Homo-oligomer: A and B are copies of this chain.
Amino acid sequence: MILDKSLIDQHNSQGNALHQKKYGLLASLLQDEGHQVNTILERLAAFQVAIPSWALGTGGTRFGRFAGGGEPRSLEEKIEDVGLLHALNQSSGAISLHIPWDIPQNPKAIQQLAASFELKFDAVNSNTFQDQENQDYSYKFGSLSHTDKAVRDQAIAHNVEVIRHGVELGSKSLTIWLSDGTDFPGQQNFRRSFARTLDSFEQIYAQLPADWKVFIEYKPYEPHFYSTVVADWGSSLLFCQKLGEKALGLVDLGHHLPNTNIEQIVSRFLMEGKLGGFHFNDSKYGDDDLTVGAMRPYQLFLIFNELVDGMTSSEIKNPELSWMIDASHNIKDPLEDLMQSVEAIMMAYAQALIIDRPALEKAQLQNDATLAQEILQNAYRTDVRPLLAEARLQAGAALNPVAFYREQKIRQALIKQRGEKTYSTGL
Protein backbone atom coordinates (compact mmCIF):
# COMPACT_ATOMS: atom_id res chain seq x y z
CA MET A 1 0.00 0.00 0.00
CA ILE A 2 1.54 3.26 -1.14
CA LEU A 3 0.48 6.37 0.67
CA ASP A 4 -0.51 9.42 -1.32
CA LYS A 5 1.54 12.09 0.38
CA SER A 6 -0.79 14.87 -0.62
CA LEU A 7 -3.24 13.42 1.88
CA ILE A 8 -0.72 14.12 4.60
CA ASP A 9 -0.33 17.69 3.42
CA GLN A 10 -4.06 18.09 3.56
CA HIS A 11 -4.23 16.69 7.09
CA ASN A 12 -1.43 18.99 8.14
CA SER A 13 -2.86 22.13 6.65
CA GLN A 14 -6.12 21.47 8.48
CA GLY A 15 -4.41 21.21 11.83
CA ASN A 16 -1.73 23.77 11.28
CA ALA A 17 -3.31 26.85 12.82
CA LEU A 18 -3.93 25.21 16.16
CA HIS A 19 -0.52 23.55 16.03
CA GLN A 20 1.24 26.86 15.46
CA LYS A 21 -0.50 28.40 18.43
CA LYS A 22 0.69 25.63 20.74
CA TYR A 23 4.11 25.31 19.19
CA GLY A 24 4.71 29.03 19.19
CA LEU A 25 4.17 29.37 22.92
CA LEU A 26 6.19 26.27 23.76
CA ALA A 27 9.09 27.32 21.53
CA SER A 28 9.20 30.77 23.06
CA LEU A 29 9.08 29.38 26.60
CA LEU A 30 11.88 26.92 25.84
CA GLN A 31 13.91 29.67 24.21
CA ASP A 32 13.42 31.81 27.32
CA GLU A 33 14.76 28.93 29.39
CA GLY A 34 17.88 28.90 27.24
CA HIS A 35 17.15 25.99 24.91
CA GLN A 36 18.06 25.95 21.23
CA VAL A 37 14.76 24.79 19.84
CA ASN A 38 16.15 24.16 16.40
CA THR A 39 18.81 21.88 17.78
CA ILE A 40 16.16 19.94 19.64
CA LEU A 41 14.12 19.62 16.46
CA GLU A 42 17.17 18.37 14.60
CA ARG A 43 17.87 15.76 17.19
CA LEU A 44 14.29 14.62 17.16
CA ALA A 45 14.35 14.39 13.40
CA ALA A 46 17.53 12.34 13.50
CA PHE A 47 16.17 9.83 15.99
CA GLN A 48 14.97 6.68 14.25
CA VAL A 49 13.44 3.67 15.96
CA ALA A 50 13.56 0.35 14.20
CA ILE A 51 10.35 -1.63 13.84
CA PRO A 52 10.67 -5.38 14.29
CA SER A 53 9.11 -7.38 11.53
CA TRP A 54 7.12 -9.46 14.02
CA ALA A 55 5.35 -6.47 15.53
CA LEU A 56 3.19 -5.93 12.47
CA GLY A 57 0.87 -8.82 13.24
CA THR A 58 -1.31 -9.43 16.27
CA GLY A 59 0.48 -11.21 19.08
CA GLY A 60 -0.90 -13.67 21.57
CA THR A 61 -0.35 -15.54 24.79
CA ARG A 62 -0.06 -19.21 25.60
CA PHE A 63 -3.81 -19.10 26.16
CA GLY A 64 -4.61 -18.04 22.65
CA ARG A 65 -4.23 -15.56 19.87
CA PHE A 66 -6.96 -13.43 18.39
CA ALA A 67 -6.14 -12.50 14.84
CA GLY A 68 -6.51 -9.00 13.49
CA GLY A 69 -7.34 -8.21 9.90
CA GLY A 70 -5.12 -7.07 7.08
CA GLU A 71 -1.90 -8.36 8.56
CA PRO A 72 1.11 -8.58 6.26
CA ARG A 73 1.41 -11.99 4.64
CA SER A 74 5.00 -11.69 3.45
CA LEU A 75 8.25 -9.91 4.10
CA GLU A 76 7.37 -7.51 1.33
CA GLU A 77 4.11 -6.56 2.99
CA LYS A 78 5.87 -6.15 6.31
CA ILE A 79 8.27 -3.72 4.70
CA GLU A 80 5.32 -1.89 3.20
CA ASP A 81 3.77 -1.56 6.64
CA VAL A 82 6.94 -0.13 8.12
CA GLY A 83 7.18 2.18 5.13
CA LEU A 84 3.68 3.37 5.85
CA LEU A 85 4.55 4.00 9.48
CA HIS A 86 7.66 5.89 8.48
CA ALA A 87 5.72 8.02 6.06
CA LEU A 88 3.34 8.91 8.87
CA ASN A 89 5.92 9.76 11.53
CA GLN A 90 9.34 9.94 9.79
CA SER A 91 10.77 8.34 12.92
CA SER A 92 10.58 4.67 11.99
CA GLY A 93 13.18 4.53 9.25
CA ALA A 94 14.46 1.05 9.96
CA ILE A 95 13.27 -2.51 10.14
CA SER A 96 14.66 -5.32 12.22
CA LEU A 97 14.28 -8.77 10.70
CA HIS A 98 13.84 -12.06 12.38
CA ILE A 99 15.23 -15.24 10.92
CA PRO A 100 13.68 -17.67 9.99
CA TRP A 101 10.39 -15.76 9.89
CA ASP A 102 11.73 -13.26 7.35
CA ILE A 103 14.29 -14.99 5.18
CA PRO A 104 14.70 -12.78 2.12
CA GLN A 105 14.53 -14.91 -1.00
CA ASN A 106 15.77 -12.08 -3.19
CA PRO A 107 17.90 -9.78 -1.04
CA LYS A 108 18.49 -7.23 -3.79
CA ALA A 109 14.79 -6.79 -4.45
CA ILE A 110 14.09 -6.59 -0.74
CA GLN A 111 16.76 -3.94 -0.32
CA GLN A 112 15.32 -1.93 -3.19
CA LEU A 113 11.84 -2.20 -1.77
CA ALA A 114 13.05 -0.98 1.62
CA ALA A 115 15.03 1.84 0.02
CA SER A 116 11.90 2.96 -1.81
CA PHE A 117 10.42 3.63 1.62
CA GLU A 118 13.68 5.14 2.91
CA LEU A 119 14.11 2.24 5.32
CA LYS A 120 17.37 0.77 6.56
CA PHE A 121 17.94 -2.68 8.01
CA ASP A 122 18.72 -2.61 11.67
CA ALA A 123 19.94 -5.55 13.76
CA VAL A 124 18.99 -9.02 12.58
CA ASN A 125 17.56 -11.41 15.13
CA SER A 126 18.21 -15.11 15.44
CA ASN A 127 15.73 -17.62 16.83
CA THR A 128 16.77 -20.70 18.71
CA PHE A 129 13.82 -20.66 21.05
CA GLN A 130 11.55 -22.56 18.68
CA ASP A 131 11.96 -25.65 16.57
CA GLN A 132 11.57 -25.23 12.85
CA GLU A 133 10.37 -27.96 10.59
CA ASN A 134 13.11 -30.13 9.12
CA GLN A 135 15.48 -29.15 11.87
CA ASP A 136 17.85 -31.95 12.89
CA TYR A 137 17.86 -31.31 16.60
CA SER A 138 15.28 -29.90 18.97
CA TYR A 139 15.85 -26.85 21.19
CA LYS A 140 13.50 -28.24 23.81
CA PHE A 141 16.38 -28.37 26.29
CA GLY A 142 18.38 -25.42 25.03
CA SER A 143 20.39 -24.33 22.04
CA LEU A 144 23.69 -22.46 22.48
CA SER A 145 23.93 -23.83 26.04
CA HIS A 146 22.80 -27.35 25.24
CA THR A 147 24.67 -30.27 26.75
CA ASP A 148 24.93 -31.87 23.32
CA LYS A 149 27.56 -30.37 21.04
CA ALA A 150 25.53 -31.27 17.95
CA VAL A 151 22.66 -29.10 19.10
CA ARG A 152 24.98 -26.25 19.94
CA ASP A 153 26.62 -26.51 16.54
CA GLN A 154 23.25 -26.33 14.85
CA ALA A 155 22.37 -23.21 16.84
CA ILE A 156 25.73 -21.63 16.09
CA ALA A 157 25.30 -22.36 12.39
CA HIS A 158 21.88 -20.74 12.50
CA ASN A 159 23.32 -17.56 14.00
CA VAL A 160 26.03 -17.50 11.37
CA GLU A 161 23.36 -17.86 8.71
CA VAL A 162 21.49 -14.95 10.23
CA ILE A 163 24.64 -12.84 9.99
CA ARG A 164 24.91 -13.81 6.34
CA HIS A 165 21.36 -12.66 5.65
CA GLY A 166 22.06 -9.45 7.50
CA VAL A 167 25.17 -8.78 5.47
CA GLU A 168 23.19 -9.14 2.27
CA LEU A 169 20.73 -6.51 3.44
CA GLY A 170 23.14 -4.06 4.97
CA SER A 171 22.54 -4.76 8.64
CA LYS A 172 25.44 -4.12 10.98
CA SER A 173 24.50 -6.09 14.05
CA LEU A 174 23.14 -9.33 15.36
CA THR A 175 20.82 -9.49 18.35
CA ILE A 176 20.90 -12.74 20.29
CA TRP A 177 18.07 -13.27 22.65
CA LEU A 178 19.05 -16.60 24.11
CA SER A 179 16.03 -18.07 25.81
CA ASP A 180 17.99 -21.05 27.16
CA GLY A 181 17.38 -21.81 30.79
CA THR A 182 15.85 -24.33 33.11
CA ASP A 183 12.48 -24.95 34.69
CA PHE A 184 13.55 -26.95 37.70
CA PRO A 185 16.31 -26.76 40.29
CA GLY A 186 19.06 -29.20 39.47
CA GLN A 187 18.10 -29.48 35.82
CA GLN A 188 21.44 -28.02 34.77
CA ASN A 189 24.70 -26.92 36.33
CA PHE A 190 24.69 -23.11 36.12
CA ARG A 191 28.43 -22.88 35.67
CA ARG A 192 28.68 -25.40 32.88
CA SER A 193 25.73 -23.90 31.06
CA PHE A 194 27.53 -20.58 31.17
CA ALA A 195 30.75 -22.15 29.91
CA ARG A 196 29.05 -23.93 27.01
CA THR A 197 27.19 -20.76 26.09
CA LEU A 198 30.37 -18.72 26.17
CA ASP A 199 32.00 -21.20 23.83
CA SER A 200 29.07 -20.93 21.44
CA PHE A 201 29.06 -17.14 21.60
CA GLU A 202 32.78 -17.12 20.83
CA GLN A 203 32.24 -19.12 17.70
CA ILE A 204 29.53 -16.77 16.51
CA TYR A 205 31.61 -13.76 17.47
CA ALA A 206 34.44 -15.10 15.33
CA GLN A 207 32.15 -14.94 12.32
CA LEU A 208 31.12 -11.33 12.80
CA PRO A 209 32.23 -9.01 9.97
CA ALA A 210 34.69 -6.34 11.03
CA ASP A 211 32.12 -3.56 11.22
CA TRP A 212 29.49 -5.64 13.00
CA LYS A 213 28.41 -5.83 16.61
CA VAL A 214 26.59 -8.52 18.53
CA PHE A 215 24.04 -7.65 21.19
CA ILE A 216 23.59 -10.00 24.14
CA GLU A 217 20.06 -9.59 25.49
CA TYR A 218 19.19 -10.66 29.02
CA LYS A 219 15.96 -11.84 30.59
CA PRO A 220 15.26 -13.37 33.99
CA TYR A 221 12.51 -15.82 33.05
CA GLU A 222 10.08 -16.97 30.37
CA PRO A 223 10.00 -19.24 28.48
CA HIS A 224 11.85 -20.98 31.31
CA PHE A 225 10.71 -20.55 34.87
CA TYR A 226 13.58 -21.36 37.14
CA SER A 227 16.76 -19.96 35.61
CA THR A 228 18.00 -18.32 32.44
CA VAL A 229 21.59 -18.45 31.21
CA VAL A 230 21.71 -14.74 30.40
CA ALA A 231 19.44 -13.79 33.27
CA ASP A 232 20.45 -10.26 34.14
CA TRP A 233 22.64 -7.33 33.18
CA GLY A 234 25.49 -8.74 35.25
CA SER A 235 25.49 -11.97 33.23
CA SER A 236 25.18 -10.06 29.96
CA LEU A 237 28.11 -7.85 30.92
CA LEU A 238 30.24 -10.86 31.93
CA PHE A 239 29.68 -12.46 28.54
CA CYS A 240 30.45 -9.20 26.75
CA GLN A 241 33.64 -8.68 28.75
CA LYS A 242 34.84 -12.15 27.86
CA LEU A 243 33.87 -11.87 24.19
CA GLY A 244 35.47 -8.57 23.25
CA GLU A 245 34.63 -5.09 22.13
CA LYS A 246 32.11 -6.00 19.48
CA ALA A 247 29.90 -7.59 22.12
CA LEU A 248 27.48 -5.28 23.86
CA GLY A 249 24.53 -5.61 26.19
CA LEU A 250 20.96 -5.12 25.08
CA VAL A 251 18.25 -3.85 27.41
CA ASP A 252 14.64 -4.88 26.89
CA LEU A 253 12.42 -2.89 29.23
CA GLY A 254 10.27 -5.89 30.05
CA HIS A 255 13.13 -8.18 31.03
CA HIS A 256 13.57 -7.33 34.69
CA LEU A 257 12.42 -8.53 38.07
CA PRO A 258 9.79 -6.47 39.90
CA ASN A 259 10.94 -3.02 41.03
CA THR A 260 14.27 -3.07 39.20
CA ASN A 261 15.90 0.32 38.76
CA ILE A 262 16.42 -0.02 35.03
CA GLU A 263 17.84 3.45 34.52
CA GLN A 264 20.77 2.64 36.79
CA ILE A 265 21.47 -0.48 34.75
CA VAL A 266 21.49 1.68 31.62
CA SER A 267 23.97 3.96 33.32
CA ARG A 268 26.18 1.03 34.34
CA PHE A 269 26.31 -0.31 30.79
CA LEU A 270 27.07 3.14 29.38
CA MET A 271 29.76 3.74 31.99
CA GLU A 272 31.47 0.56 30.83
CA GLY A 273 31.00 1.45 27.15
CA LYS A 274 28.98 -1.71 26.81
CA LEU A 275 25.46 -0.67 25.88
CA GLY A 276 24.50 -1.90 22.44
CA GLY A 277 20.84 -1.26 22.08
CA PHE A 278 17.36 -1.07 23.41
CA HIS A 279 14.13 -2.95 23.04
CA PHE A 280 11.29 -0.62 23.97
CA ASN A 281 7.96 -1.75 25.34
CA ASP A 282 6.07 -1.37 28.59
CA SER A 283 4.81 -3.70 31.26
CA LYS A 284 3.19 -3.99 34.63
CA TYR A 285 3.91 -7.57 35.67
CA GLY A 286 6.51 -9.28 33.52
CA ASP A 287 7.44 -9.27 29.86
CA ASP A 288 3.99 -7.97 29.02
CA ASP A 289 5.09 -6.34 25.76
CA LEU A 290 2.62 -3.50 26.00
CA THR A 291 2.68 -0.25 24.06
CA VAL A 292 5.69 1.87 25.02
CA GLY A 293 4.68 4.51 27.54
CA ALA A 294 1.33 2.90 28.30
CA MET A 295 2.17 1.97 31.86
CA ARG A 296 5.22 3.76 33.26
CA PRO A 297 5.94 6.85 31.21
CA TYR A 298 7.99 8.44 33.97
CA GLN A 299 10.35 5.47 34.09
CA LEU A 300 10.78 5.81 30.33
CA PHE A 301 11.69 9.46 30.79
CA LEU A 302 14.23 8.58 33.50
CA ILE A 303 15.79 6.03 31.17
CA PHE A 304 16.03 8.64 28.43
CA ASN A 305 17.60 10.95 30.95
CA GLU A 306 20.42 8.40 31.18
CA LEU A 307 20.50 7.81 27.44
CA VAL A 308 20.79 11.51 26.61
CA ASP A 309 23.48 11.78 29.26
CA GLY A 310 25.22 8.83 27.64
CA MET A 311 24.89 10.24 24.15
CA THR A 312 26.20 13.66 25.09
CA SER A 313 28.64 13.33 27.99
CA SER A 314 32.29 13.37 27.03
CA GLU A 315 32.99 11.06 29.97
CA ILE A 316 31.26 8.19 28.20
CA LYS A 317 32.81 6.16 25.43
CA ASN A 318 30.00 4.01 24.14
CA PRO A 319 29.31 3.02 20.52
CA GLU A 320 26.25 4.48 18.86
CA LEU A 321 23.08 2.81 20.08
CA SER A 322 20.54 0.69 18.27
CA TRP A 323 16.90 1.48 19.02
CA MET A 324 14.07 -0.91 18.49
CA ILE A 325 10.52 -1.47 19.59
CA ASP A 326 9.74 -4.96 20.83
CA ALA A 327 6.09 -5.14 21.72
CA SER A 328 3.29 -7.54 21.01
CA HIS A 329 -0.10 -5.82 20.50
CA ASN A 330 -2.50 -8.58 21.39
CA ILE A 331 -5.60 -6.46 21.16
CA LYS A 332 -4.72 -3.24 19.37
CA ASP A 333 -4.26 -2.65 15.67
CA PRO A 334 -0.49 -3.26 15.40
CA LEU A 335 0.12 -0.15 13.33
CA GLU A 336 -1.74 2.08 15.74
CA ASP A 337 0.12 0.51 18.60
CA LEU A 338 3.45 1.19 16.91
CA MET A 339 2.48 4.80 16.26
CA GLN A 340 1.63 5.23 19.92
CA SER A 341 4.89 3.54 20.90
CA VAL A 342 7.05 5.72 18.68
CA GLU A 343 5.24 8.83 19.93
CA ALA A 344 5.89 7.83 23.55
CA ILE A 345 9.58 7.24 22.82
CA MET A 346 9.96 10.57 21.06
CA MET A 347 8.17 12.30 23.90
CA ALA A 348 10.49 10.84 26.54
CA TYR A 349 13.44 11.78 24.36
CA ALA A 350 12.22 15.34 23.91
CA GLN A 351 11.56 15.70 27.64
CA ALA A 352 15.04 14.42 28.40
CA LEU A 353 16.48 16.91 25.92
CA ILE A 354 14.96 19.87 27.74
CA ILE A 355 16.27 18.96 31.18
CA ASP A 356 18.34 21.82 32.52
CA ARG A 357 21.49 19.71 32.92
CA PRO A 358 23.85 22.34 34.34
CA ALA A 359 21.30 23.19 37.01
CA LEU A 360 20.74 19.50 37.71
CA GLU A 361 24.43 18.92 38.13
CA LYS A 362 24.65 21.80 40.54
CA ALA A 363 21.73 20.52 42.58
CA GLN A 364 23.40 17.11 42.72
CA LEU A 365 26.63 18.58 44.01
CA GLN A 366 24.63 20.31 46.74
CA ASN A 367 22.59 17.20 47.56
CA ASP A 368 19.49 19.22 46.90
CA ALA A 369 17.01 16.43 46.22
CA THR A 370 14.04 18.79 46.16
CA LEU A 371 15.56 20.95 43.48
CA ALA A 372 16.80 17.99 41.45
CA GLN A 373 13.26 16.67 41.41
CA GLU A 374 11.87 20.08 40.42
CA ILE A 375 14.32 20.21 37.51
CA LEU A 376 13.55 16.72 36.25
CA GLN A 377 9.81 17.10 36.67
CA ASN A 378 9.80 20.53 35.09
CA ALA A 379 11.00 18.83 31.93
CA TYR A 380 8.71 15.83 32.33
CA ARG A 381 5.61 17.89 33.01
CA THR A 382 6.15 20.04 29.97
CA ASP A 383 3.76 19.12 27.21
CA VAL A 384 6.26 18.50 24.42
CA ARG A 385 3.76 17.20 21.90
CA PRO A 386 3.95 20.45 19.86
CA LEU A 387 7.71 19.87 19.50
CA LEU A 388 7.16 16.39 18.11
CA ALA A 389 4.44 17.62 15.82
CA GLU A 390 6.69 20.40 14.52
CA ALA A 391 9.50 17.91 13.88
CA ARG A 392 7.08 15.75 11.93
CA LEU A 393 5.68 18.72 10.05
CA GLN A 394 9.15 19.78 8.98
CA ALA A 395 9.94 16.24 7.86
CA GLY A 396 6.78 15.89 5.84
CA ALA A 397 5.11 13.48 8.23
CA ALA A 398 1.62 13.79 9.72
CA LEU A 399 0.85 16.22 12.52
CA ASN A 400 -1.17 13.50 14.19
CA PRO A 401 -0.34 10.07 12.77
CA VAL A 402 -3.03 8.09 14.60
CA ALA A 403 -5.74 10.55 13.64
CA PHE A 404 -4.59 10.57 10.02
CA TYR A 405 -4.48 6.77 9.92
CA ARG A 406 -8.06 6.61 11.12
CA GLU A 407 -9.32 9.38 8.90
CA GLN A 408 -7.89 7.59 5.90
CA LYS A 409 -9.33 4.24 6.99
CA ILE A 410 -6.00 2.59 6.29
CA ARG A 411 -6.69 -0.59 8.20
CA GLN A 412 -9.89 -1.10 6.29
CA ALA A 413 -7.94 -0.71 3.05
CA LEU A 414 -5.37 -3.26 4.22
CA ILE A 415 -8.11 -5.71 5.12
CA LYS A 416 -9.66 -5.28 1.73
CA GLN A 417 -6.31 -5.94 0.14
CA ARG A 418 -5.02 -8.73 2.36
CA GLY A 419 -8.08 -10.30 3.89
CA GLU A 420 -9.95 -10.39 7.18
CA LYS A 421 -8.15 -13.32 8.76
CA THR A 422 -4.49 -13.15 7.86
CA TYR A 423 -1.80 -14.36 10.17
CA SER A 424 1.54 -12.70 10.20
CA THR A 425 4.50 -14.85 11.19
CA GLY A 426 5.63 -14.10 14.70
CA LEU A 427 4.47 -14.77 18.19
Residues of A at the B interface (CB closer than 8 Å) are 21-22, 25, 29, 59-64, 66, 129-131, 138-142, 147, 179, 182-192, 194, 220-223, 225-227, 231-235, 237-238, 257-261, 263-265, 267-268, 270-272, 283-286, 288-291, 293-298, 302, 305-306, 309, 313, 315-316, 330-333, 336-337, 340, 347, 360-361, 363-367, 369-370, 372-377, 380-383, 385, 402, 427
Least CB separation from A283: chain B residue: B225
* Contact between chains at A258 and B259 (CB < 8 Å): yes
Is the Cβ of B370 less than 8 Å from the Cβ of A332?
yes
Shortest distance from the beta carbon of A380 to any chain B beta carbon, whole Å: 8
B268–A427 CB distance below 8 A:
no
Please, which residues of chain B bring their CB within 8 A of the CB of A336?
370
The answer for the CA separation of A186 and B286 in the assembled complex, in Å, is 20
Query: A63-B130, A285-B259 given as contacts; is B369 within 8 A of A184 (CB)?
Result: yes
A191 engages B64 (CB within 8 Å): no
Closest to A285 in B: B221
Name 16 interchain pairs, CB-CB below 8 A, sorted by A.
A62-B62, A63-B222, A140-B331, A142-B367, A184-B294, A185-B263, A186-B372, A187-B373, A190-B263, A190-B306, A191-B267, A222-B285, A296-B298, A331-B369, A332-B369, A340-B373
Least CB distance from A283 to B in Å reads 7
Stoichiometry, copies per complex: 4
Q: A66-B131, A238-B272, A257-B257 are in contact. Are A315 and B369 (CB under 8 A)?
A: no
A221 to B25, CA, bound (A): 42
Say whether, besides A189-B364, A315-B191, A340 and B370 are in contact (CB < 8 Å).
yes
Contact partner, A376, options B179, B185, B190, Cβ 8 Å: B185
Query: When the two chains form their complex, are residues B129 and A64 in contact, meaning their CB atoms are under 8 A apart?
Result: yes
Q: Which of B186, B289, B381 contacts A385 (CB 8 A)?
A: B381
B284–A221 CB distance below 8 A? yes
Q: Of A225, A272, A360, which is in contact with the most chain B CB atoms at under 10 Å from its CB?
A: A225
Known contacts A291-B373, A427-B63, A29 near B25 by CB under 8 Å: no
* Bound Cα distance from A129 to B330, whole angstroms: 13
- Please, how many angstroms separate the alpha-carbon atoms of A64 and B263 in the complex? 27
Partner of A223 from B25, B64, B272 at Cβ < 8 Å: B64
